[in-house]
């Protein structure tokens, strides 16, 4: 007896069609893959035995409209578009096909990552306009971290490529919790919070309240016009303000005069006194003067805007995609500390960071409490070491 199969898409790959035809199946298609109403109509009029579901909503009403329906197979693994409860009530099994689109989705994921990191859309527009422009602010992915939510077929394929590029891979998947064998070379986080956490204190580029610089572009324009003469104060050689200034200068293709001080206090004093035109300092050192209106912020170096300074754009927003330079604080202990003691110290620290009064105090300083796991924090340290080590060697930065 022939079976009637309904595919909720305009077509099916040739290999799938041949398999169905070999099974003596009559195959029907949904011309409009985005129309739940059209799907409902076909189920009401056709004696469908099996449905191959793509992305259109397969509602309970549509399922009930087809008394001959015996099985539903999802072309993929996500069943959020299928009313599974309605199918279960009818005794209709819902199957999934793991890995059905894994390779294509993984390749698209990687393509989007490369396009964003290397500004491919912008470069394409420039080439089509007949210009050979250099994307100096592209992001090199080696040494960067990719966080994967879920570690199924798609994520595993993406992880293999990212590891080959020299990236750090972190993943959160509830299925990995307590697993005896975890994937090698992947930092498995025990929670989504741990995966997304980053203990960051941003650095802020500030100028006096009466400075002619109102934007980062204003400052860089002056730096280009007076190469090597426009000074940036920082709290000392090797500080994150020093490194952030060096990274910004290299990304912008300008030369600035780094002016090191013995601490944030003297640097801020000379900025207020007009001895230097700008200061790259962490939020803790600049927030009081920003609140007093004595200085003005041009940019923050964090990946996102700070809740304490919501009107101040990031460096990345102002033409330097992927720019991020933050300082961070964490609790460390001697190597070889027993695991149970490490766990107790970590849990106690997380409890303190979760306190509303602690979070509010950190916010006032322009900091963010972002708790993480010991393993994720260790991986973060390794990634920071690689990132800043490369800049220090390239720029030949020394502490003296």
| 217 and 314 together in one domain | yes
Tell me the whole-structure pTM to 2 decimals.
0.46
Q: Domain of 150?
A: 102-196
Of 224-228, 291-295, 322-326, least confident by mean pLDDT is 322-326
* Residue 179 confidence (pLDDT): 61
25 domain-assigned: yes
| 207 and 188 together in one domain | no
* Residue 192 confidence (pLDDT): 61
How many Å is the Cα radius of gyration of the chain? 28
12 domain-assigned: yes
Mean pLDDT for all residues in the chain: 85
7 domain-assigned: yes
| Torsion from C-alpha of 109, 114, 117, 122, nearest 10 degrees | -110
Task: Categorize the per-residue pLDDT at 211 as very low, low, confident or very high, splitting at 50, 70 and 90.
Answer: very high
Return d(Cα 27, Cα 365) in angstroms, integer.
64
35 domain-assigned: yes
* Residue 135 confidence (pLDDT): 56
383 domain-assigned: no
Which of 374, 22, 8, 370 is CA-nearest to residue 197?
370
| 56 and 133 together in one domain | no
| 86 and 136 together in one domain | no
CATH at residue 89? 3.40.50.720
What does the buried/exposed string (b/e) look like for 306-328 if buried means 16 or more CB atoms within 10 Å of the residue's CB?
Answer: bebbeebebbbeeebbbbbbbbb
Question: At which of 56, 77, 95 does a domain end?
Answer: 95
Q: Which two tokens stand for residue 38?
A: 């059209």
| 87 and 134 together in one domain | no
Return d(Cα 400, Cα 383) in angstroms, integer.
25
| 322 and 208 together in one domain | yes
Return d(Cα 128, Cα 193) in angstroms, integer.
42
Read off the pLDDT of residues 271-316 as tens digits, 9 standing for 90 and up.
999 999 999 988 878 888 898 899 999 999 887 888 778 899 999 8
For residue 193, pLDDT over 70 is answered with no
385 domain-assigned: no
For residue 95, pLDDT over 90 is answered with yes
Higher pLDDT, 55 or 118: 55
Q: How many residues does the chain have?
A: 400
Q: How many domains does the chain have?
A: 3
Give CA 72 to chain center in angstroms.
35
Angstrom CA distances, 102 to 147, 162, 211, stand at 18, 16, 54
For residue 138, pLDDT over 90 is answered with no
Q: For the chain, give the secondary structure using H, E and C.
A: CCEEEEECCCCCCHHHHHHHHHCCEEEEECCCCCCHHHHHHHHHHCCCCEEEECCCCECHHHHHCCCCCCEEEECCCCCCCECHHHHHHCCCCEECCCCCCHHHHHHHHHHHHHHHHCCHHHHHHHHHCCCCCCCCCCCCCCCCEEEEECCCHHHHHHHHHHHHCCCEEEEECHHHCCCCCCCCCEEECCCHHHHHCCCCEEEEEEEECCCCCCCHHHHHHHHHHCCCCCEEEECCCCCHHHHHHHHHHHHHCCCCEEEECCCHHHHHHHHHHCCCCCEEEEHHHHHHHHHHCCEEEEEECCCCCECCECCCCECHHHCCCCCCCEECCCCCCCCCCCHHHHHHHHHHHHHHHCCHHHHHHHHHCCECCCCCCHHHHHHHHHHHHHHHHHHHHHHCCCCC
| 134 and 249 together in one domain | no
* Residue 233 confidence (pLDDT): 92
∠ at Cα 14 (13, 15), nearest 5°?
A: 95
| 239 and 213 together in one domain | yes
| 190 and 128 together in one domain | yes
Q: Which two tokens stand for residue 283?
A: 């939020």
* Residue 200 confidence (pLDDT): 46
Question: At which of 303, 327, 351 does a domain end?
Answer: 327
Task: Categorize the per-residue pLDDT at 140 as very low, low, confident or very high, splitting at 50, 70 and 90.
Answer: confident
308 domain-assigned: yes
299 contacts 305 by C-beta, under 8 angstroms: no
* Residue 181 confidence (pLDDT): 64
295 domain-assigned: yes
Return d(Cα 55, Cα 82) in angstroms, integer.
9
| 310 and 218 together in one domain | yes
Question: At which of 308, 327, 346 does a domain end?
Answer: 327
| Strands 326-327 and 231-234, bridge-based pairing | unpaired
Mean pLDDT of 12-39: 91
Which of 27, 25, 15, 8 is CA-nearest to residue 75?
8
CB atoms within 10 A of CB 16: 15
């Amino acid at each position: 007896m022939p079976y009637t199969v309904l595919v909720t898409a305009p077509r099916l790959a040739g290999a799938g069609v041949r398999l169905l035809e070999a099974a003596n199946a009559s195959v029907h298609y949904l011309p409009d893959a985005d129309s739940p109403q059209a799907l409902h109509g076909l189920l009401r009029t056709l004696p469908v035995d099996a449905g191959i579901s793509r992305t259109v909503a397969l509602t309970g009403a549509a399922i009930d409209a087809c008394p001959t329906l015996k099985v539903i197979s999802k072309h993929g693994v996500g069943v959020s578009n299928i009313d599974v409860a309605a199918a279960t009530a009818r005794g209709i099994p819902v199957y999934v096909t793991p890995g059905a689109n894994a390779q294509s989705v993984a390749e698209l994921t990687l393509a989007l990552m490369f396009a964003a990191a290397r500004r491919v859309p912008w470069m394409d527009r420039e080439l089509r306009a007949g210009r050979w422009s250099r994307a100096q602010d592209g992001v090199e992915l080696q040494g960067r971290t990719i966080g994967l939510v879920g570690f199924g077929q798609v994520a595993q394929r993406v992880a293999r490529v990212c590891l080959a590029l020299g990236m750090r891979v972190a993943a959160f998947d509830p299925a990995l919790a307590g697993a005896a064998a975890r994937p090698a070379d992947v930092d498995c986080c025990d929670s989504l919070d741990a995966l997304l956490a980053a203990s960051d204190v941003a650095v802020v580029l500030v100028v006096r309240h009466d400075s002619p610089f109102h934007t980062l572009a204003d400052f860089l324009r002056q730096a280009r016009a007076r190469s090597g003469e426009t000074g940036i104060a920082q709290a000392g050689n090797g500080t994150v303000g020093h490194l952030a200034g060096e990274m910004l200068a290299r990304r912008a293709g300008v030369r600035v005069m780094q002016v090191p001080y013995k601490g944030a206090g003297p640097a801020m004093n000379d900025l207020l006194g007009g001895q230097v035109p700008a200061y790259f300092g962490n939020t803790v050192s600049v927030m009081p003067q920003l609140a007093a209106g004595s200085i003005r912020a041009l940019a923050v170096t964090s990946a996102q805007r700070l809740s304490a300074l919501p009107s101040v754009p990031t460096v990345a927003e102002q033409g330097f995609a992927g720019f991020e330079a933050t300082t961070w604080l964490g609790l460390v202990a001697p190597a070889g500390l027993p695991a149970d003691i490490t766990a107790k110290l970590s849990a106690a620290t997380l409890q303190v960071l979760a306190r509303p009064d602690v979070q509010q105090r950190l916010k006032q300083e322009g900091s963010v409490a972002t708790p993480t796991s010991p393993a994720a924090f260790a991986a973060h340290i390794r990634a920071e070491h690689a990132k800043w080590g490369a800049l220090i060697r390239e720029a030949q930065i020394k502490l003296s």
